[in-house]
Amino acid sequence: MAAGTQESPLLALAAGAARNKGEYVKPFTPEKAKGIIMSLQQPAVFCNMVSDWPSRHWTAAHLSEVLHGKQIRFRMGMKNTDTVPQFETTCNYVEATLEEFLTWNCDQSSISGPFRDYDHSKFWAYADYKYFVNLFEDNSDVFQDVLWSDFGFPGRDGQESTLWIGSLGAHTPCHLDTYGCNLVFQVQGRKEWHLFPPEDTPFLYPTRIPYEESSVFSKTNVVNPDLKCFPRFQKARRHMVTLSPGQVLFVPRHWWHYVESIDPVTVSINSWIELEEDHLARVEEAVTRMVVCALKTSEDPHSTRAWLNPTEVEATSHEVNCRYLNGAVSAFFDHHRTPKAVEIQALKTNRENVEKKELNVSSHMEVAQTHNQDLSLAPGKQDAVSLFGPDLFPVTPGPKEEHPSERGGIFEKDGKELVDKDGEYFAKSCCARRQQMSKSENVVEQTASNSTPGLSQAFISTDDLLDCLVNPQVTRMVAQLLIQGKSL
């Protein structure tokens, strides 16, 4: 049993008695669920945890009534099987109501309305990444319909959640999320999840273009890979699961995922749970942003749209990026007060990229592989696996398997920049996608705007950053990666 998941005998007795009376009892207490989430290093599906959540009734038809007439932005994609991923930068967008979406989706002969230019047999539509706080700004009561407190996160509800409504074929290209781990509640229809462990990153051909602060995309279309261009992808260990209504998928930190709607209408709700490692990740992202913005802006100063994901607010200036970096570093130090803690955290989170001894790219890949003998649990938490059963099943490598799913079957199938008092700029959040996600991200902003000195006296200067970026170890690794990338 994982640390922190031990159930008290009294609770177990009470649960047994309730079950005997035919009452609905969740298979895991909040403490136990949280213990699993914090120790499991493999994706897994929780069943029978959300049957009493009011949001289980949130079909697209129901939501269209709740949102009566609200305009939503839909991403439009092709139902083709190209080998090139459909990044958000290459998609078209349509502003429409949910009602108009449902009409287009059901009445395939409809030739009017905002979707009129999109032949239903060729296109899918996806209202993805919709923050509750934006979508339900006039109706915040609905936040309480989502109860992540049942998973051990008290107070977390719709306010920290995102909604996804799609048609058949709607998908999100393969990416990893930089921050947190993820809980995903499938409400309507089914979605197919293709997951790959963080250790397989070299086989996924990561790219920072399109640039997005909170995601790293794969160049590979994982459902139709071009193996001539991306031969290492063959080594990636795909884990697959079909998520059905009523199930909650746990996606551990830095697992790659491609997600596709396989029913005519799908609705899901997710929440990214902040983790300790996010503090250092935020510094890494600030460095990445600075490098990407500097190089891409000088390559083509007029067209940020070509490389910036539409979920990002805008390309930010060097000054703003510098402030963001300083904010992230200050927040890191605020969190890890002692130098020892800083050292441990930095080394721990570095494991995916930098080997301490020799920065050899190919040996790095092998090390990544051997690290991965036991993907399932954090060290010292080996026995959480005993919790697998009908209410929690692991997502395992290889083709998807049928799993016992819903008991009872009650679910339907079917930067902007801010000007501060002194007139100086600070990016509100360099991350549009996650701007409501993380309370700790606000800490970065506040720390940056309250305590970051002027650029000239910045704690981390441009030269400090350059000293690190052109460190011989780093440039050697970059050189090796460049050569390796061109020699395959």
Ligand X SMILES: O=C(O)CCC(=O)C(=O)O
Point out which residues bind ligand X (CB under 6 A).
128, 164, 172, 177, 182, 184, 191, 257, 259, 268, 270
Q: Which is nearer to ligand X, 441 or 452 (by Cβ)?
A: 441
Q: Which is nearer to ligand X, 270 or 452 (by Cβ)?
A: 270
Quote the least distance from Cβ 128 to ligand X, whole Å.
6
Q: Are the C-beta atoms of residues 77 and 259 closer than 8 Å to each other?
A: no
Q: Which two tokens stand for residue 140?
A: 């915040």
Q: Which is nearer to ligand X, 194 or 289 (by Cβ)?
A: 194
Distance of CA 370 to the CA centre of its chain: 26
Taking the C-alpha atoms of residue 250 and residue 34, their distance in angstroms, rounded to an integer, is 11
Quote the least distance from Cβ 80 to ligand X, whole Å.
18
Taking the C-alpha atoms of residue 181 and residue 254, their distance in angstroms, rounded to an integer, is 8
Amino acid at site 91: C
Taking the C-alpha atoms of residue 208 and residue 486, their distance in angstroms, rounded to an integer, is 17
Q: Which is nearer to ligand X, 128 or 199 (by Cβ)?
A: 128
Taking the C-alpha atoms of residue 88 and residue 347, their distance in angstroms, rounded to an integer, is 33
Quote the least distance from Cβ 177 to ligand X, whole Å.
5
CA atoms within 13 A on the CB side of 276: 9
Q: Which is nearer to ligand X, 115 or 193 (by Cβ)?
A: 193
Quote the least distance from Cβ 98 to ligand X, whole Å.
17
Contact residues for 14 (Cβ-Cβ < 8 A; gap 6+): none
Contact residues for 221 (Cβ-Cβ < 8 A; gap 6+): 82, 83, 84, 85, 173, 174
Q: Which is nearer to ligand X, 211 or 426 (by Cβ)?
A: 211
Taking the C-alpha atoms of residue 229 and residue 245, their distance in angstroms, rounded to an integer, is 37
Quote the least distance from Cβ 331 to ligand X, whole Å.
23
Q: Which is nearer to ligand X, 311 or 330 (by Cβ)?
A: 311
Contact residues for 98 (Cβ-Cβ < 8 A; gap 6+): 60, 63, 64, 67, 70, 72, 127, 165
Contact residues for 246 (Cβ-Cβ < 8 A; gap 6+): 47, 48, 50, 51, 56, 186, 405, 406, 409, 410, 411
Q: Which two tokens stand for residue 112?
A: 């009017």
Number of other CB atoms surrounding residue 52 within 10 Å: 11
Quote the least distance from Cβ 182 to ligand X, whole Å.
5
Quote the least distance from Cβ 178 to ligand X, whole Å.
11
Quote the least distance from Cβ 171 to ligand X, whole Å.
6
Q: Which is nearer to ligand X, 164 or 332 (by Cβ)?
A: 164
Quote the least distance from Cβ 337 to ligand X, whole Å.
31
* Residue for token pair 């996608």: 433
Secondary structure class of 108 (helix, strand, coil): coil
Q: Which is nearer to ligand X, 26 or 434 (by Cβ)?
A: 434
